[in-house]
Structure 1
């Protein structure tokens, strides 16, 4: 056990021993008193062979004490400031991905003579960055933390978007858009992790719902703003608006966003303690599996694909989500064909057709927040804290039915122009609703089905669907020219229809399929163990005779195998690893 040490040694130039709790920095408003940190009884002997294992200082209700450097204990308002910044970052990046699609006709006038595929690449190039970026920024956040990863990516993201305004040809514009996508993709990789770092699973429904809707709202909002601005001032002002939006995101993150990644924060705390005392302090992760940057990146490139091709659930659901994602981005080409060429609308007015997808996305989000999340919470509470992953699929089943209906409706009412414009726009409401229901439901399903492997599963999912989003839209014009508007739209409907049985099959037979998979079987056993341990802890907390528990005797129920011994407070932090911590799942998958 560590002994009590003087708080103000002479060799303390950084003031590490001072008992202050307020930093004059917007991104770190609260700091735990140093005396609480250093006097906590950590496990270990303080030597290289047996270092002190640094954990969060447990809550002490008798003293109204919380370790405020633990993101799970941030003030409620502070959590929501960080949540809105993270969600706004994802929304801004996805708006940037689609806004220039509304200015394609203006870009054609300035840079004539290229094929349709080259012009479509203005949008698709940005998504190429979504293929490359996650392979860099996911591991980067584990080494350097989420806050710094946002800062070092948003700055070049802003620069490359600003440089698009001065592009002299299509090649330059496409290259700049690709790099903007690479750096901007950090928002899609780490924003969800930032939210999950702060909210325990039973509290994060609304926050994750807001964040998860951003990838669908952004692409629908972008063409609306881009269409009117392009019509009034030209495509370069659209690029300038994207640059200003990027600058605002950068400023918000630099000034206000706190660091939330617990393993990084604990590692920094261990370094401070080592420097201050001369003893050896390490996190549980660094004791059991020291951080290896090369191995981390190598595994990031390997493990998602191992799971992708060994797990039929992962493979089929990823292909399904990828097709839906590609269909969403194909609309950026099909909408101008229908509303501008066929109906003669201006770019700005044609952009308003995307409002239908936006409205549908909000309806889908509202369904999840106000019906599905409460339903799931009631069920999981009634059944002792555990539900099989298939309990997430009713939402997907509804979306899987609604989505192709919207596609066929849109395909057969877009023309002739004698059909009132509101009819196809109403169809896009169903399209937007179906996309959100399927995506959010399947995200939750994959997370629940592959708890400790979920980060790798979602990483592979993101890369594959971005590939689909890059490639399929390139052929949209050719498909519409060959098949015509009605049958080209119907082709998308048939693709969605082909996968409609999938969620129903997994709803009835998914449990049996998962028990045949080692990875899914381990995750299912872990989920039940976590639920059992949480019930035991709740019973202990309700007991008036229960003594405050130290970290030494508590084993974490978090799915992150990086942290195998953490205090009771952190047992609720399953979400931290479900979204962003690949290292632990990598080691398990390698076995």
Structure 2
């Protein structure tokens, strides 16, 4: 389970406690969610890019260790400023795991089973926010808001021990180390690999190039122009962690722990998405073959994204029109989370698979660029969430969000039909494309 993702949303469960202790407006405390997501966005660019220079494992070890250290100032904070700053820095180092993990999955997975592997990984990435909301409610209710940080710190320490057992997976890093070992064993400096950096290029230039690549890909790579769509979808998902406490605690009067269980619908939808992978893989296998590889084209995965794009607004509308407690049983808004969670998971899993399968060697940079947009928007939208729901009400606030998502439905279907032509306009994919391993 991704501790950094849990950390981002478990925070919302204890907003009331921090608001009372520090005597500040709710919006100020909610900035802790925003700063954390902004930190994740920035960390995704820098740390995932550095992983393409030094390898995945060193960055995982350093970032997870520092992430755990930066939880301490939040748990011991005496003012809200310390919380905001520490959560930003913690998010920065937590971004390494979030953005680079799909790249690690791609490193060790056969093309045919990449979607299944990413689906299994996404159980943590997608259910992490859900579990954060579920667990955080009970922890805050019985132990207080500081204990939500101690709990994440314990999870972080356990994850650090697991990462110590993980080997390097990034092919260029492995080949460079093998080349160096052969040079030392034979004394022959002519041993080389295609990923060796030329002597004329300084280390600073290499780092600068790798850090700039995700930003370059956001602007100039046509395949990732749908980052805006994924960003809106992800932002609405995070807005739920502001909306659900409003609906179930304020409108329905539930205790924080019980209100946290309302996320079960979203978690169930995520589990269904993962369980349906074998069926979706069969559908993908029926897609026309890419003549360069003899395998289904990457666009085959986008069909699942299109299905998810329809389910998301359906679940959002369902939730919006059953949120009010008058004459509506509590089970209905919870059940609305199933199509919502299923749609979000399909979009996340297969959009990630599409990007990773297209960029292979530079998958981490492509996904880091995607993370900038996703977490940037996810950090901004929840700030307006409380005001939006208090002004419009749960029904019309949710309806507004659903209508925005309805307008974005054509985007994945355009990529499904014309994605091959769009990919051919890329200057990076032909250089990094790999066939089945």
Fold conserved between structures, TM > 0.5: yes
2:278 to 355, 359, 370: 370
1:285 to 172, 195, 199: 195
2:265 to 330, 353, 356: 356
Deviation at 1:478, TM superposition (A): 1.2
Match for residue 237 of structure 2? 328
Report Cα offsets for 1:313-355 as digits up to 9, x if no partner.
522x111100011111111111111100000000000000111
Deviation at 1:425, TM superposition (A): 0.6
For the residues of structure 1 that align with 2:423 and 2:267, how far apart are their CA atoms?
Answer: 35
For the residues of structure 2 that align with 1:375 and 1:277, how far apart are their CA atoms?
Answer: 51
CA contact under 8 A between 2:238 and 2:378: conserved in structure 1? yes
CA contact under 8 A between 1:136 and 1:297: conserved in structure 2? no
Q: What's the RMSD between the two structures over aligned residues?
A: 2.4
Deviation at 1:251, TM superposition (A): 1.4
For the residues of structure 1 that align with 2:123 and 2:281, how far apart are their CA atoms?
Answer: 15
CA contact under 8 A between 1:361 and 1:432: conserved in structure 2? yes
1:295 to 191, 198, 205: 205
Q: 1:293 to 1:459 in 2, by over 3 A?
A: farther
Flag the structure with more relative contact order, 1 or 2, with Cα contacts below 8 A and sequence separation at least 6.
Answer: 2
Q: Which has the larger radius of gyration?
A: 1
Deviation at 1:390, TM superposition (A): 2.7
Aligned residue-pair number: 435
Task: Name whichever of 344-353 and 434-443 sits farther off.
Answer: 434-443
Q: 1:115 to 1:290 in 2, by over 3 A?
A: farther
Match for residue 255 of structure 2? 346
Report Cα offsets for 1:173-231 as digits up to 9, x if no partner.
11111111111111112222222222222243432211134221100110111100110
For the residues of structure 2 that align with 1:332 and 1:197, how far apart are their CA atoms?
Answer: 33
Deviation at 1:447, TM superposition (A): 3.8
2:182 to 273, 281, 285: 273
Q: 1:264 to 1:512 in 2, by over 3 A?
A: closer
For the residues of structure 1 that align with 2:183 and 2:419, how far apart are their CA atoms?
Answer: 49
Task: Name whichever of 245-254 and 371-380 sits farther off.
Answer: 371-380
Q: 1:454 to 1:166 in 2, by over 3 A?
A: closer
Deviation at 1:161, TM superposition (A): 1.2
For the residues of structure 2 that align with 1:449 and 1:283, how far apart are their CA atoms?
Answer: 23
SS in 1 for 2:192: strand
Structure 1 segments unaligned to the other structure (5+ residues) = 1-87, 527-556, 561-570, 574-591
Report Cα offsets for 1:485-510 as digits up to 9, x if no partner.
11111111011111012222333344
For the residues of structure 2 that align with 1:341 and 1:104, how far apart are their CA atoms?
Answer: 13
Q: 1:514 to 1:202 in 2, by over 3 A?
A: closer
1:494 to 397, 403, 414: 403
Greater helix share, structure number: 2
For the residues of structure 1 that align with 2:422 and 2:58, how far apart are their CA atoms?
Answer: 41
CA contact under 8 A between 1:143 and 1:293: conserved in structure 2? no
Task: Answer yes or no: is 1:158 the counterpart of 2:68.
Answer: yes
Task: Answer yes or no: is 1:111 the counterpart of 2:14.
Answer: no
Structure 2 segments unaligned to the other structure (5+ residues) = none
Task: Answer yes or no: is 1:438 the counterpart of 2:347.
Answer: yes
2:324 to 407, 415, 419: 415
Report Cα offsets for 1:242-283 as digits up to 9, x if no partner.
1111111111112x1112222222222222222232211222
For the residues of structure 2 that align with 1:312 and 1:207, how far apart are their CA atoms?
Answer: 26
For the residues of structure 2 that align with 1:187 and 1:258, how far apart are their CA atoms?
Answer: 15
For the residues of structure 2 that align with 1:372 and 1:250, how far apart are their CA atoms?
Answer: 34
CA contact under 8 A between 1:157 and 1:183: conserved in structure 2? yes
For the residues of structure 1 that align with 2:161 and 2:362, how far apart are their CA atoms?
Answer: 34
CA contact under 8 A between 2:52 and 2:210: conserved in structure 1? no
Q: Where does 1:69-84 land on structure 2 (aligned, <5 Å)? A: none
Deviation at 1:450, TM superposition (A): 5.1
CA contact under 8 A between 2:289 and 2:297: conserved in structure 1? no
Match for residue 125 of structure 1? 35
CA contact under 8 A between 1:399 and 1:437: conserved in structure 2? yes
SS in 2 for 1:258: coil
2:135 to 203, 206, 225: 225
Report the TM-score, using the length of structure 1 for normalisation.
0.69
For the residues of structure 1 that align with 2:177 and 2:42, how far apart are their CA atoms?
Answer: 29
For the residues of structure 1 that align with 2:287 and 2:6, how far apart are their CA atoms?
Answer: 36
For the residues of structure 2 that align with 1:138 and 1:293, how far apart are their CA atoms?
Answer: 17
SS in 2 for 1:442: helix
